[in-house]
A and B are shown apart, each in its own frame.
Chain A
Amino acid sequence: MSGLTRTEVAHVARLARLRLSDEELDLFTVQLARILDHAADMQSLDLAGVVATAHPYDLINVVREDVVRPSLDRDVVLAAAPDAEDGCFAVPRIMGEEL
């Protein structure tokens, strides 16, 4: 058993900005624990001879040239915003830090 707690699920839900009911918390704690148990089963396998796979695609260095392409029209962009002001997206005021 993974030993996943209800508190941990609540924490992860908060980080993901999900509001869960008590019933949902109970349900997801059981379901997520099963997923973690499955991962733990895989951990117990001997994979010494298997090359680590970072990505399912056998591709590296997919890049584009540094050439400017047209951007979107600002009126179109801001029409999709919940609110706009001074050519900017207007959002509820951010308290505290500036990143």
Chain B
Amino acid sequence: MTLPEGWEMVVGLEVHTELRTATKMFCGCANVFGAEANTNVCPVCLGLPGSLPVLNERAVSMAMAIGMALHATIAPSTFHRKNYFYPDMPKDFQISQYDLPINSGGYLDLPDGSRVRIERAHLEEDTGKSTHLGASGRIHGADRSLVDYNRSGVPLVEIVSGPDIRSAAQARLYASELRAVLIATGASDGRMEEGSMRIDANVSVRRNGEPFGTRCEIKNLNSLRSLQRAIEFEAQRQVELLEGGGVVRQETRHWDETVGATSTMRVKEEAEDYRYFREPDLVDLAPDAAWQQRVADELGPMPAERRAAVVGLLGEPSDAQRDAIDVVIDLGLERFVHATHAAGGDVAVALARVANELAAAEDVSKLTEAAFVATIALESSGQLSATQAKTVLADLIASGGEPREVAAARGFEQLSADSLGDIVAALIAANPDEWSRFRDGDDKLAQFFVGLVMRETKGRANGKAVIAELHARR
């Protein structure tokens, strides 16, 4: 979908990412997703009177890692209280960074060659999670909300982009590249479906060349698809409003994925009075050069560079291979592809196996690079069929070991060339019509013979070897 001729959208994104620390931002409660409600809470994250926050060192390191990955400037920073009343915020304020964030300035380069400026990336704490009874239909007519404070106080970094994005597709690309960067820093798991990365989109439209229009903020987009659809809808809505002689009101809007529309949540002026003031219980944060250096030393190469390295091994990757590369980079598994290349193996086969069989596994720590490379070699040389190679990899991932032994244990001994030759000869003799058509150039019949051989050998034959045998006899 594109806007009518003469219109342009202006989009800035605020991305909240939960940090993968062991504990919360200001207390020692565990930071885990999916625990039983209210089992990871203490006086600090429940906002009980007299409790005092103490900053998590690792959260600061992760925030700096994010800043470095985004080419931001790390500066001395302070914490503020953002005051509002909501049941999922038991202190009645959220501790955040206001005028002095830990990271400011910076940029993110997107795979399409565009650059989006980063205004800031600051630390703050997450809120609890409320379930609205009645509204959700879970208990009809109920008039209560249930609150779980396990998420209350989980460390977040909020990354605010400049108003540099000009299409919904670019917004999606920005979010997906940022997600890959966050995963690469080790600061985030990027799991949008678990809410560990959430996006607010500021959308306005203008006629080409005019100043920025009034913007609306769409809250809590929790998938890349929702992000793109919501921005497309909202920009279209604003253009239609303006072309009809209306005005855009600055407001916060909610995206309804099932309806495919945004709707007013609250009008801006009513709510935006947070009376920020300095958090008196926390002192200033000013990481010294040594601390910053420790973070920099741990920071590996970013996705763009790692992606380019794998692309370089393939030359001209197909779209499917590009998708596979994204998966492999997200999961940090490209070492298997590089190892295959270093051993002179088939990189395309290796990429496919990593993006599918390895990516599907919870844990690949039992699979050594050497065993992986050897499996790919067995597959490319035809000693294992693709199906057999996948089974061998699954076994290696589950229990470790050497591929030849695993293949032998599975009974994947290849037929000897002689016995395969005998079987092929017998089947040719039994199917003279098909054979003569194959000889006359109907290559489709190769699959017919492969099928017969597979049935005859109960799948032990290698398809490539059968085809070679057929051609040798043609």
Binding site for B on A (CB under 8 A): 12, 15, 17, 54-55, 57, 59-72, 74, 77-78, 83, 85-94, 96-99
Query: Nearest-CB distance from B324 to chain A (Å)?
Result: 34
Q: How far is the CB of A47 from chain B (nearest CB, A)?
A: 18
Secondary structure of the B side of the interface?
Answer: loop
- Across the interface, A66 reaches (CB within 8 A) one of B21, B132, B142, namely B21
Q: How far is the CB of A19 from chain B (nearest CB, A)?
A: 14
One of A12, A15, A70, A89 near B87 (C-beta < 8 A): A89
Report the separation of the CA atoms of residues A14 and B278 in the bound assembly, to the nearest whole angstrom: 21
Q: Mark B138-168, 1 if CB is under 8 A from A, else 0.
A: 0000111111110000000000000000000
Residues A54 and B278 in contact, CB atoms below 8 Å apart? yes
Question: Closest Cβ of chain A: how far from B247's Cβ, in Å?
Answer: 23
Looking at the complex, which one of A17, A77, A93 makes contact with B142 (CB distance below 8 Å)? A93
The reply on B54 being an interface residue by CB < 8 A is yes
Interface contact A54-B78, CB-CB below 8 Å: yes
Q: Which 8 A-B pairs have the closest CB atoms?
A: A69-B28, A66-B58, A88-B146, A63-B57, A87-B37, A89-B147, A91-B87, A59-B283
B40-48, B173-181, B355-363, B376-384: which lies at the interface? B40-48
Q: Other than the known A60-B283, A64-B57, A93-B143, what 20 A-B pairs have Cβ atoms closer than 8 Å?
A: A54-B78, A54-B284, A55-B278, A63-B60, A66-B56, A66-B58, A66-B59, A69-B29, A72-B43, A72-B46, A74-B37, A74-B39, A90-B146, A91-B87, A91-B144, A93-B133, A93-B135, A93-B142, A93-B144, A99-B89
B220: which A residues are within 8 A, CB to CB?
98-99
Closest to A65 in B: B57
B459 within 8 A of A: no
Instruction: Please give, as numbers and ranges, the residues of chain A lying within 8 Å of B89 by CB-CB distance.
Output: 99
Contact (A68, B23) CB under 8 Å given A85-B146, A87-B36: yes
For residue A58, give the distance in angstroms from its CB to the closest CB of chain B: 9
